[in-house]
Copies of this chain bind each other. A is one copy, B any other.
Amino acid sequence: MANPVLVEVTRGDGVESRHRGAVAVVDGAGAVIVRLGDIDRPVFPRSAVKPLQALALVESGGADHFDISTEELALACASHSGEALQVEKVEGWLRRMGLGIEDLECGAHPPRHPDQVAEMIRAGEEPRRSHNNCSGKHAGFLCTALHMGEPTGGYSGPDHPVQRRLRALLSDLGGCDLSAAPHGVDGCGIPVIAMPLVAMARALAAMANPDGMPGPRAAASRRIFSAMTGYPELVGGDGRFDTRMMAAGQGAFVVKTGAEGVYGGILPRRGLGVALKIDDGATRAAETAMAAALEHFGELGGGVTGPLADLLQPVIANAAGEPVGAVRAVIEWNYAMY
């Protein structure tokens, strides 16, 4: 059966496009609170699980050994925009570990923001690997490998201990066997393993309920949550959905985007983990669906919705800047399994 339509794109008085997808919400006991669409189908979690991946950096002792700052930890969980400040901080972290940009095994790509791209073009500057939106995560991998006495070269390979640890973490927190799961290579070159959407929600729910975790993991989880909510401008960038949402939330929740329409959410107040995937991979739909989930679970109260209206229902504008349509969530929470 097809997944339900979660988001519609309107133009004038018509619906122009429709995005289907699945939403899984799980509580601290592992109970499924919302089941919309096929949440048992494996999806590549992409960057939406960066907060989970960062657990290895903290738990291993690497973060403490290299005395990383809260900003650096936020960058380890980031899909950053490649803004000058973000890139400088990652490069500084690498230098402090005695490493350089060339040790990053992610490819280079231009920064996300057109203004930043224009600035680099004017300065005759080429994108560096540190501009890659995952460069902070990769700095974290290097940090862990160095601390553990593992080779830094090849840390992105599927058999390197760094990647084995990530696999064990996701399997453990998600409560799922990933040994036979579909696997591929992520945009930044590391292995990516598909996990059921409900398992992804379960793993995020674990981070939303650190009291249920063993002591060191609970501390690591709290530290990561604080870093992301404390420096939302480093986790995304100027004008980005995650940055604006987490800034508005003032420490209440974490939301983390992933490529191809994946999103993760950590909601400690209600102790919930949220995972969603838009079937067709559209970011516009994933963001709008995540905004609707935050609103549904009461995370956007207290006058926050007004300033965030353009995230809850983004306007489609024509080339002259006139509004001609909107992206709107049409999620039937009432029919979701509670």
Contact = CB atoms under 8 A, between A and B. Distances in A.
A179 interface: no
Nearest to A11: B184
A280 B12 CA distance: 17
A187 B319 contact: yes
A9 B189 contact: no
B260 A319 contact: no
Select the residue from A13, A17, A42, A280 with max chain B CB neighbours within 10 A.
A280
Contacts of A106: 319-320
B9 A318 contact: no
A171 B44 CA distance: 45
Given A17-B279, A17-B280, A12 B183 contact: yes
A194 B14 CA distance: 8
A11 B261 contact: no
Contacts of A18: 279-280
B318 A187 contact: yes
Nearest to A129: B319
Contacts of A184: 10-14, 16, 324-325
Given A121-B122, A280-B18, A12 B182 contact: yes
A185 B281 contact: no
B107 A16 contact: no
Contacts of A10: 184
A80 B309 CA distance: 34
A189 to B, nearest CB: 6
A19 interface: yes
A188 B11 CA distance: 13
A85 interface: no
A238 interface: no
A118 interface: yes
A86 interface: no
A192 interface: yes
Contacts of A14: 42, 44, 182-184, 194
Interface in A77-132: 106-110, 114, 118, 121-122, 132
A130 to B, nearest CB: 12
Interface string A233-246: 00000000000000
Interface of A: 2, 9-20, 42-44, 106-110, 114, 118, 121-122, 132, 182-189, 192, 194, 260-261, 278-282, 285, 318-322, 324-325
11 contacts: A12-B183, A13-B182, A14-B42, A106-B319, A121-B121, A122-B122, A185-B324, A187-B319, A187-B324, A278-B280, A282-B282
